Structures are given as C-alpha cells and as structure tokens.
Amino acid sequence: MINPNDPSLHSWIDIAPESDFPIQNLPFGVFETAERGPRLGVAIGEYVLDLYAVAQFGYFEDLELGKKMPKVFRRRSLNQFIALGRPAWRAVRQRVSELLRHDNPALRDQQEAMRECLLRQDEVQMLRPVKPHNYTDFYSSIEHATNVGTMFRDPNNALLPNWRHIPIGYHGRASSIVVSGTDLRRPNGQRKAPDATAPTFGPSQQLDFELEMAFVVGRPTQLGDTVPVQNAEDYIFGLMLFNDWSARDIQSWEYVPLGPFLGKSFGSSVSPWVVTLDALEPFRIPGPVQEPEPLLYLRQTGEHNFDINLEVAIAPEGGPETAVSHANFGLMYWSMAQQLAHHASNGCNQQVGDLYASGTISGTTPDSLGSMLELSWRGTRPVPLADGSERKFLQDGDRVTMRGFAQKDGVRIGFGEVTGKVLPANSLSL
C-alpha cells in the first residue's frame, strides 16, 4: 500500500502547484448544493470529491466500514464519520488517494461517475465541518501570553506563576462557532473606560481577531476517564484555522474573576476543511524546551508540534488586502497532546467533535503577532494598510482572512482560509 503522504504521488486532476489541496492532503469537509443537500467531501485542487456519490458508485464497497457507512456521508457535519474511528478515516483517505492517483483509471475513465463525484469548489456551499459539542480555547503561545502580561500587568513578571505549569484554557461558547464566509456583527456590550465612573452599553470600540488553530476530538472518553499524554494524538482527528473574534473593551471589563464571556461569545470562525493529523505527519517538529519540566502527566518525548505557516490579512470594504501578520504554529509552547491530556486529567469526558483552539498564535517579531491588540500594542502603534488607512482595531466593513499551509519536499498541505467581514453593530432599541 502506498503512503498517501508520499511526495511523488500525483493526480489525474490538474492541480496548480500553489494549491492547498494536492493529493497528499485530502482534507474532509461538509458541503451543500441545492440539488444534493448536505454531503461530506474531500478537497482536491479546485474540486470537491463527493464522498456519498463515491460510495453510491461502489468505490468504498470492499472497505469494511460498518453499516452506517453510506449514510454518514450525507450528514450536516463530520461528527458521525469521525465517530467511526481512526481505521475508518484512514481507510477512506487511502481509498480516495488511490482513486485520484494519475495511473488509476477506476474513477478517471468513468465519465458518468466522475461527473457525479467531482464538483467545483466554487459551485458548492461549504458548511461548518463539525458540530462542536464543547469548545475550549487554550492560551498556549508563550509569546502571546507574554505580550498580554506585559501590556496589562507587569513587564517584569509578564507570565503568571501558573502559566509554565498548566496549559491554561477556558470553556468557550459552542453555539456561535460559524464557518468561514459568515459575516460577523460587531457586538454591543458593556464597557468602562479606566477613567469613567460608570460603564456604558454600546458597540464595541475594540473589535479584534485572534489567529488560532483548532483541533477536533475524534475519539470519545467516559466521564472519569483520562487521556495519557503519550496517546493523546490518537484522540485527534484533524486541524482547522480558527478566528477567535474578540471585543477587547467588553472583555476587559467583564473578565475578572471568571474569565472571558461576552467579549468572545458573539462569534468564532472556522475554516471549512479539516486537515487530518495523518496528512500533517511529515511536518512534525519539536516544540520549545519547556522549563521547568512539566509534571509527569504532561511530560512527553518526541516531536509533537507542527510546522504550519500562518498569515492574517485585512481588507477594508472595497479596498485591497494587507497581510498584517505572519506566524507559525510550530512555536506553540504547549502541544495539542498536552492540552488534551490536561483537559481530560480531571476525568472530564471528551466527545467526538469537541473543538479545542490553541489560543492566539504570536511569534517573536512585531510582524508575527496574532491579534490587533498586539500588532497595534494596545492601540499605541497603528497598523498601516495598503489603502493608506491605518488600524488600531477593526472597523466596520473590514474583512479578516487567515490562511495556513505546511510545505516540505515540494508538497504543500494547506488549510484554505477562514474569512469573515465585520458588519455594523445592531442599533440599540431598548
């Protein structure tokens, strides 16, 4: 059996060299057309492979995937497919890889099947790929945590005492996670300027993005069970880009002592394609040295970070796009395996589709910061845009787009993008 990550593979479908979706990627998503209703699909070049159609034509027939198999491909989320387990994910990805390989005529030479199974991405509507039963946001970039601590607390003690011991995280709002392309309304909320005597209610004046990645839990646990850090990656299906939109003024007034709430819950955006951990295998790198050494339940050896290049761009309404940040997921202080092992260490049960975000990903340089808060250093150094305007925070009409890819040996494993535009706040009619 050929490794579907093999850099020498190529497809009978024409794929541009800069495409995020070569035959080595094969990410999973959910799409919809007026005729077909919701379907699971795999991205390949500029196309989507309709997995339900592929199953209907019998191409999965000899895979032993259980009785739910054809049905799971016409659902509104990946959850039920993911629940089949890693052997099923691998078998499907392997078979799709075989079907798309340049020298395999099975689908290539079947005109009718090919027409039914392949749709252009620009002719389908992508849906939110998973139904996240639970959503947790971590805070695992040491650069980001240091920047925030420097700005809001003490530059000499920027990291709080627990930070190097715990992958700090908090429960977020699952209902308001939307797929890329959904525009987000600027939230109203309570905020109080430091010198004001009382709070006011109105549109957030400090609307921000946060550049993050999120992983999807692929294997459930029972209440009381834990996930050993050594095996934690077995519980991960794949990764997406994640924009954790944030209203800084609402957040800073509300968050003591119980954490972020309405400053976050008005919306978070995910990219539509889930890149499997399997596809990212070639991009493993060691994480930063952890000092002090973590407690035993978080201690791991080997390479558990992933070298993924990230970009954030802002385009004002009708204006050109400006790339405002370039960061890398490989810098994360706490790995996904450590986040998950920690999350389950108290017996908290994990559900298929749970979505765990990394926290803002910032680098070490001024052009690699993952939020406007950091890029504009709390509004003190405005960020210039290509149209000549500048930004401290986001303005109405601004479109924020995040992109990401890993690249090695001529293979580019991309995530596509997560994009969304800022709509004006609701008017206040109280």
76 binds its own copies (CB under 8 A): no
Instruction: Catalytic residue, from 10, 102, 133, 144: name it.
Output: 144
Stretch binding its own copies (CB under 8 A), from 76-84, 122-130, 259-267, 281-289: 259-267
420 binds its own copies (CB under 8 A): no
CB of 342 to its own copies, least distance (A): 7
- Please list every residue from 157 through 216 that binds its own copies, using CB under 8 A: 160, 162, 165-166, 168-176, 178, 185, 187-190, 192, 198-201
Phi, psi (deg, nearest 5) at residue 228: -65, 140
Tokens representing 172 are 């977020």
Q: How many residues bind its own copies (CB under 8 A)?
A: 65
228 binds its own copies (CB under 8 A): yes
CB of 30 to its own copies, least distance (A): 18
Question: Residue 280 to residues 5, 66, 275, 407: CA-CA distances in angstroms?
Answer: 9, 27, 8, 10
Active site residue 144: yes
Residue 2 and residue 221: Cα distance in Å, rounded?
32
Tokens representing 140 are 């695992």
For residue 109, say whether it is annotated as part of any ligand binding site.
no
- Please list every residue from 98 through 157 that binds its own copies, using CB under 8 A: 133-134, 136, 139
For residue 264, say whether it is annotated as part of any ligand binding site.
yes
Question: Residue 176 to residues 198, 292, 311, 416, 419: CA-CA distances in angstroms?
Answer: 29, 37, 23, 21, 15
349 binds its own copies (CB under 8 A): yes
Residue 278 and residue 300: Cα distance in Å, rounded?
19
* Residue 358 near residue 140, CB atoms below 8 Å: yes
The residues near 105 (Cβ < 8 Å, ≥ 6 apart) are none
CB of 356 to its own copies, least distance (A): 12
Contact flags string 293-312 toward its own copies, x per CB under 8 A: --xxx---------------
Contact flags string 263-282 toward its own copies, x per CB under 8 A: x-xxx---------------
Angle at 206 between CA 200 and CA 208, to 5 degrees: 140
The residues near 417 (Cβ < 8 Å, ≥ 6 apart) are 180, 241, 271, 401, 402, 403
CB of 197 to its own copies, least distance (A): 10
As beta bridge partners, residue 325 has 312
Instruction: Count the Cβ atoms, other than its own, within 10 Å of residue 426.
Output: 11
CB of 77 to its own copies, least distance (A): 13
256 binds its own copies (CB under 8 A): yes
Q: Which pairing describes strands 322-328 and 309-315: parallel, antiparallel, or unpaired?
A: antiparallel
- Binding site per annotation, positions for Ca(2+): 137, 210, 212, 244
- Binding site per annotation, positions: 137, 139, 153, 210, 212, 244, 251, 255, 264, 268, 360
What is the contact surface with its own copies in residues (CB under 8 A)?
133-134, 136, 139, 160, 162, 165-166, 168-176, 178, 185, 187-190, 192, 198-201, 223-224, 226, 228, 247, 250, 253-263, 265-267, 292, 295-297, 342-343, 345-351, 354, 426, 428, 430
